[in-house]
């Protein structure tokens, strides 16, 4: 049954090849795969939030509350950074194509630079309060890497299980 569905083989007495086209794993419709991959922009922040919660609890249990607070702060900054970067890219794309909502170029540039100012201020504040938390902050800034890795693993799983 699975072999028939995969290879497109029909039961005995099947008419023509056109009636039963060969369906290989790579022959997924482009609309289905496109809608699946468009969901990545929604799934990556969810994976990031889940990883932030789990890893913050792990950091608290393993290293104590100060590095865990630093890690959680780094995760929050990384999450905001990703969201603001997404808005900057959308704003720049709208500016270039002159479609969609109009965004002032001042707002785009300010949002772009404010991300780095926020990271610098958080690093300074954490360094003055607790130097041990600075390592946690730097580790938390790598949260998008964990989110993208989870998304890649999910896409691999979906591709193998669904034949995409």
Of the ranges 6-20, 25-39, 54-68, 124-138, which one carries the lowest mean pLDDT score? 6-20
Distance CA 113, CA 120 (A): 11
Q: Name the residue with tokens 């201020």.
A: 121
User: Quick one: how far is CA 133 from the chain centroid?
Assistant: 26
Encoding tokens for residue 56? 């913050």
Which two structure tokens, joined as six digits, stand for 164? Answer: 């995409």
Q: Are 115 and 84 in contact (CB under 8 A)?
A: yes
Convert the pLDDT of each residue in 36-71 to its tens digit: 777 888 888 999 999 999 999 999 999 888 889 889
- Is the pTM higher than 0.75? The answer reads no
Mean pLDDT, to the nearest integer, of 82-109? 72
């Amino acid at each position: 049954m699975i072999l028939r569905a995969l290879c497109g083989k029909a039961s005995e007495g099947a008419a023509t090849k056109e009636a039963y086209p060969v369906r290989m794993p790579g022959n997924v419709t482009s609309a289905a795969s496109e809608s699946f991959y468009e969901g990545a922009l929604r799934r990556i922040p969810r994976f990031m939030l889940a990883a932030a919660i789990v890893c913050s609890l792990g950091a608290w249990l393993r290293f104590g509350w100060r590095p865990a607070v630093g890690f959680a702060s780094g995760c929050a900054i990384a999450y905001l950074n990703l969201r603001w970067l997404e808005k900057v890219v959308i704003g720049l794309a709208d500016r270039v194509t002159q479609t969609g909502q109009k965004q002032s170029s001042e707002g785009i540039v300010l949002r772009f630079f404010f991300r780095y100012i926020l990271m610098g201020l958080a690093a300074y504040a954490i360094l003055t309060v607790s130097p041990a938390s600075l390592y946690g902050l730097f580790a938390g800034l790598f949260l998008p890497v964990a989110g993208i890795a989870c998304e890649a693993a999910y896409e691999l799983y979906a591709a193998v299980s669904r034949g995409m």
